[in-house]
Amino acid sequence: MQLVLRIYDLILSEGLESAILKFGIVLMQKNAETLLGMKDMGTLTTFLKERLFDVYIDKAPSANSILENGFFGSTAGVDKEVYRADILVKDAVAVKIIPEMLKQYTAEWKEQQRFEKERETELNGLKERVTSLESKVRLLETRAEQSDMEHVQVASELIKTKVENENLAEENETLKTKVQELQKIVNTQPEEVEARLKSEMETVMQKNIMVHNENRNLEESMAEMEKELVETKMQWATVSLTTIIRHDTAQLTQRQINEEHENLKQKWNSISQMMK
């Protein structure tokens, strides 16, 4: 209560905003080292709630110091902890704050808030831009991976093509060698073919001459055989005709003889035509 009463004294003297701000500044200044050393938010909250005024505790209070510090009433009922309220008020009054300073601090705070807001907006824009760039980077990485895969595939195909070209070059050289050998054979072939043809033509001509001679001999033999056959047939016909005439003359009438004669003449003519 001794602190509350002295704080109200300053509020009534200088106004609510100025007094509260002065007390707050003094308490922050006195506890600055302790507050800056805290890393845990729970400990900080507990300290601000319960231990903020501990810097003004009188650790060895006496009757005079209690009265000097603004405590009134019976000292028999004094609390365990006695605060040096008079020193707290003196420290608060020593803080120089005027309305112009408050306006300046307010303007600075608003400017800082505006700057922080702009910075936050800029950061949000940068984050969006970073997100967009990350998307583009991922897209480019994907394209790069595809390009790498295509490059590897093209390189593989190129190596395969080189190997095939080397194989084709070797085959080409082999074929060139074979063509040269065949060309040599072809160049020497006409002479061999011509010589072979001459030999075969001479053989064929000799065979033709032999066949021709054999044909002449056969023709001559056939002519003689035909001549002998004709003579034989003529002789046989004459004998047959004479025999028939003699045999039939006694038995046949003149008319029959004439008819038989005609038949024999026709047979003779037929035989003659066949013999021609």
Per run of 10 residues, the mean pLDDT along the chain (length 276 residues) is 79 83 90 90 90 83 63 49 81 83 86 91 91 91 89 88 89 87 77 76 83 80 79 76 64 67 75 64
Enter the pTM of the model.
0.38
Pair 233, 271: CB distance under 8 Å = yes
The residue with tokens 């408050």 is 102
Tokens read off for 248: 């039939």
Q: Which pLDDT value is given to residue 75?
A: 46
SS3 252: coil
How many whole angstroms separate alpha carbon 261 and alpha carbon 255?
Answer: 10
Q: Which pLDDT value is given to residue 66?
A: 63
Pair 34, 47: CB distance under 8 Å = yes
Tokens read off for 28: 């922050």
Q: Write down the domain spans for the chain.
A: 2-97, 229-275
C-alpha distances (whole Å) from 267 to each of 113, 228, 240, 273 are: 157, 20, 12, 10
Do β-strands 82-83 and 57-58 pair in parallel, antiparallel, or remain unpaired?
Answer: antiparallel
DSSP state of 193: H
Q: Which pLDDT value is given to residue 15?
A: 82
Helix (H) or strand (E) holding 187: helix 99-251
- For 25, residues 6+ apart whose C-beta sits below 8 A from its C-beta are 92, 95, 97
